[in-house]
A and B are shown apart, each in its own frame.
Chain A
Amino acid sequence: MVSLKDLTRISDYEWEIPKSFRQDMQVPVRIFATRRLLEKVMDDKSLEQAVNSATLPGLVGHVLVMPDMHQGYGFPIGGVAATRYPDGVISPGGIGYDINCGVRLLATQISYDQAKPYLNDLASVLNNFCPSGVGTKGSLRMSEKALDQVCREGSRWALKEGYASEMDLQRTEESGCLEGADPSKVSAHAKERGRPQLGTLGAGNHFIEVDFVEQVFEAQAAQVMGLEEGNLVVQIHCGSRGFGHQICTDYVEEFQKAVRRYNIQLPDRELVCAPLSSPEGQNYLGAMRSAANYAFANRQVLAHSARLAFEQVFAGKVKNWHLNQVYDIAHNMGKIETHTIEGKQVKVCVHRKGATRAFGPGAPGLPADYQVIGQPVLVPGSMGTASWVLVGTNESMLRSFGSTCHGAGRVMSRHKAKAEVRGDKLRQDLEADGIHVRAGSMAGLAEEAPQAYKDVDAVVETVVGAQIARKVARLRPVAVIKG
């Protein structure tokens, strides 16, 4: 059990659990949080899970925890850990079951005032065009060969099939395709789950949300991204669906044997891992990258559907109804990256689980226009509250393996949320606040109630205070589609 007295205060926004806290820790844990946010998580097991994560073999630097942290399984949500490449390990549980769960942001030239009379209709059309809900299947019927192409090519497959533009790919992390994906390392069960689900949102905390830009904090960055105060934007939050869930399930099971084979001792079996250089590690990398590419393609197909919905609702009513991509970014991913550690350039495998890549200006892999301002970071809030657009900084490159927060972070259990919130009442309240809601299940809606989450503004103030991101714009929701 970790208590506040075990933490060393580094600054108002940064704390440390030293390596000496527990004998099996390989590196210290560094937490980005205010005292107030820290106090909110002392009742759950986030910090204990961060300490457990700090026992993985081959870790470098610190295990990092973002201010939207909450208890997960194995790693805490909001955790970042980097292992030496190739002699460190990779842990599927450190990436999560929803591989490449992430957020896409699309900007419009439609003002909120112009859109107001059509928002109810827009919510219904988006809901019809973008399949959502438990186990939903999409309209695409994919052969195994086509699925393998999606695995290898990600958003490039979507471009070839007419679901994407070149600009979409340029403005997607890794241009929407992780190299080294190997669909032959994906099980038949995973492929069976993945084939009918491409282009679907799923359920749980996944959503499509229409917002308007409430306030711009950094005019130059907002201009580069195409964000203008008062205009509508669209967020798409989802991942690799049953395909990724099954791949992670398969490899967490497979790695139960690997840890015995490589004599790796761990405090929690969900942290199972294998050396990156081992056949098991390489197989997982190939499968995990396949799921990551599937998720990029999935959000791309959903973006295409959202564009069709906007066309149906706004064509003939506004001059320009096109949705321009701002960025698409993962927050559950394992990536091989080079970072500066103790003054040296070191190749590492960065595990981000509920944490967003936040590369600063000039970082490799960013499109030319974002080289100047830094990589956009998309931080969705809870339903009914604000979301944020941030950018990565040079400090994030030095202090957090180019990572920052990914959302508001839960603070209330689903059980308690269901007991305290009635889905139909919540829907009425949101509608009264001018937020049009389409939800597959009222119980599911209640579990995702705003009061179940931390204050996203406090989370953002923390990462900005810690200098691992800068504010660009604050978004305000006007329509939410949930599975």
Chain B
Amino acid sequence: MNESQSAGFREVEHTADWELEVWAPTLPALLVQAAHGMYTLSGTKLKETPREMREFVLHFLDLESLLVSFLSKLLYYGETQELGFDDFLLEMKDDMLEAVLYGAPIAWQSKEIKAVTYHNLKVIKTFEGFRTRIVLDV
């Protein structure tokens, strides 16, 4: 668990898969917390060097689609390029996310995440910002 009043994530009990509750004051911060949560659950450790940078643009239908697409992109980089990220520059414009990610090769990962699901997924606007629960297929 990584929790503060304004931003954080925690694991929620799920019989077969993994469920994360995530909260943050802004949408980009919610994406960052979700990424940290996913890396924490999968036991991902990064090498110190070489530092790597990747950038991409995502078009999304709605906030749930943004969250699933963003995390799925991280899984893709993890599996195909063995890269994980710990520093994120995210900018949202209407239905588009511009992402610049900084990270490093994965040194160790203890668990495999197959996919990010839409199961009961809702990104909720709260007084403090945004909150959601994400089920990951493992």
Contact = CB atoms under 8 A, between A and B. Distances in A.
A340 B96 CA distance: 49
B5 interface: no
Contact of A253 (B15, B65, B138): B65
B110 interface: yes
B121 interface: yes
B118 A269 contact: yes
A203 B112 contact: yes
B13 interface: yes
Contact of B121 (A269, A410, A441, A444): A269
B115 A97 contact: yes
Contact of A72 (B11, B16, B78, B110): B16
A1 B17 CA distance: 20
Nearest to A411: B15
Interface stretch (B26-34, B46-54, B68-76): B68-76
B11 A415 contact: yes
Contacts of A415: 11, 13-14, 18
B79 interface: yes
A135 B78 contact: yes
Contacts of B93: none
A74 B117 contact: yes
Interface in B93-116: 106, 109-112, 114-116
A270 interface: yes
B114 A97 contact: yes
A74 B61 contact: no
Interface residues of B, number: 37
Contacts of A410: 15-16
Given A246-B76, A252-B118, A415-B13, A483 B64 contact: no
A256 B106 CA distance: 32
Contact of B119 (A74, A135, A193): A74
A203 B113 CA distance: 9
Given A193-B76, A413-B15, A256 B118 contact: yes
B117 A73 contact: yes
Contacts of B117: 73-74, 93, 97, 252, 270
Contacts of B111: 134, 203-204, 441, 443-444, 447
A70 B13 contact: no
Contact of B65 (A70, A93, A242, A256): A256
A245 interface: yes
Contact of B120 (A97, A134, A253, A268): A268
B17 A72 contact: yes
A70 B15 contact: yes
Contact of B115 (A70, A248, A414, A443): A248
Contacts of B17: 72-73, 414
Interface of A: 44, 70-74, 77, 93, 96-98, 134-135, 189, 192-193, 202-204, 242, 245-246, 248-249, 252-253, 256-257, 268-270, 272, 410-416, 441, 443-444, 447, 483
Given A73-B135, A204-B114, 20 more contacts: A70-B15, A71-B15, A71-B16, A72-B16, A73-B17, A73-B119, A74-B118, A96-B137, A135-B109, A193-B76, A242-B79, A245-B115, A249-B68, A252-B68, A253-B72, A269-B64, A270-B120, A411-B15, A414-B14, A414-B18
14 contacts: A71-B15, A72-B17, A98-B137, A134-B109, A134-B112, A189-B76, A193-B80, A249-B72, A252-B117, A268-B118, A269-B118, A270-B118, A410-B15, A410-B16
